[in-house]
Amino acid sequence: MSTETSPEAPKWKPLNSRQRRVLGVLVEKAKTVPESYPMTVNGIVAGSNQKSNREPQMELTQEDVEQLLEELRGLGAVTEVQGSGRVLKYRHHAYEWLGVTAVELAVMTELLLRGEQTLGDLRARAARMESIADQTALKVVVDGLLQKKLLREITASGRGQIVSHNLYKDREVADLQTRLASSPGRLTSDDERQASPSSSGSHISLKYATADQLSELAVELAELRAEFARLRQRVEALEVKGSS
């Protein structure tokens, strides 16, 4: 008898917005800052509340995150592990829990962290975690997630299509549809937002930064360094290949 999980009986369950944020942070940091993974509660708090790559903004406390981790452990999505000394750390089981590939998980993570978005933005954002060559490559991933019922199409297929994950609670789906119907032009691409003089970027002044903001900046800096290291390795590999 096969021991594989059938598509009709997935392990995943709908999650509330704060549970999705914590799970998304664990996956994101595991992919972008592997040296900081598994993560401490404090690291998860900083990642959950950071201003970049998050929608909506949250202000979770340590107690909030500890409770959310306990809830996710009960659902089988997260495990507690012993770190160095007596510090408890946490790792995700999103691959098994969602039944996805590495690229599919990158796409799901962006949706868990930011909610509904256009396919153009989704590819650009998810590509920081896993390579997605172009929109054609993304379409293959999206189709796979649709088949697994992990993704929902918010607008019809075509240019500017909006999609989101399918881990919403029932009442959130109705709220989402109402919100988008009342503000059809609400979602714009990252390029459009950056070009707009009224864009509200989250620029933090170091002079007046709080401890949480400094922690957030440290996390973002670590991500940038990790991405730079990966790019440098690719360039070095290409140079070696070209000289051989």
Expressed as residue numbers, the domain containing 161 is 108-178
The pLDDT of residue 196 is: 45
Q: What percent of the chain stands above pLDDT 70? A: 75
Residue 19 has pLDDT above 70, yes or no: yes
Which amino acid, residue 205? S
User: Which of these, 185, 218, 15, lies nearest to 108 by C-alpha position?
Assistant: 15
Q: 150-181 burial by CB neighbour count: b if 16+ within 10 A, else e?
A: bbbebeeeeeebbbbbbbbeeebeeebeeebe
Residue 79 has pLDDT above 70, yes or no: yes
Cβ–Cβ < 8 Å for 172, 179: no
Q: Would 25 be classed as within a structural domain?
A: yes
CATH code: domain of residue 54: 1.10.10.10
The predicted model gives 176-186 an average pLDDT of 69
Kind plus residue range of the DSSP H or E element containing 92: strand 88-92
The pLDDT of residue 131 is: 96
Give the lowest-confidence range in 3-12, 66-75, 167-176.
3-12
Q: Is the dihedral of CA 161, 165, 170, 176 positive or negative?
A: negative
The pLDDT of residue 190 is: 54
Residue 23 CA: distances (Å) to CA of 31, 71, 187, 193 = 13, 11, 24, 27
The pLDDT of residue 158 is: 87
pLDDT confidence bin for 2, thresholds 50/70/90: very low
Give the lowest-confidence range in 46-55, 109-118, 146-155, 203-212.
203-212
Q: Is 93 in the same domain as 113?
A: no
Structural domain total, the chain: 2
pLDDT digits (tens, 9 = 90+) for 27-61: 999 999 999 999 999 999 999 999 999 999 999 99
Residue 244 or residue 38, greater confidence = 38
Q: Would 36 be classed as within a structural domain?
A: yes
Cβ–Cβ < 8 Å for 209, 23: no
The pLDDT of residue 192 is: 47
Mean per-residue pLDDT of the chain: 83
Q: Would 194 be classed as within a structural domain?
A: no
